Amino acid sequence: MTEDEARQLILETLKSKSKSKSKFYLKDFYAIVPDMKNREVKNLVNKMVMEGHLEYWSSGSTTLIGLKGMGKQHAEED
């Protein structure tokens, strides 16, 4: 699987699950792209965050990742 295919798969999966869940653990991304090594998935997710497709959210003790602009906290900010 190429990086572009993995990127597309991640975005499609997050969009399809956005009705029930907006934030995911990094280990969830490993399950989305099982063909890639964990380190490659982590680097890809970091790259997607820097490009503005994804964003980090932290509760202080846990860091979650979701689609940029999605989730309950964004609805409250508007």
> Per residue in 58-73, pLDDT tens?
888 999 999 988 765 5
CATH code of the domain in which 66 resides: 1.10.10.10
Extract the residue ranges of the chain whose pLDDT is less than 50.
Answer: 75, 78
**How many domains does the chain divide into?**
1
CB 45 within 8 A of CB 67: no
The confidence score (pLDDT) of residue 19 equals 80
The confidence score (pLDDT) of residue 78 equals 46
Question: Per-residue b/e over 67-78, b at no fewer than 16 CB within 10 Å?
Answer: beebbeeeeeee
The confidence score (pLDDT) of residue 72 equals 57
The confidence score (pLDDT) of residue 37 equals 95
The domain in which residue 7 lies consists of: 3-77
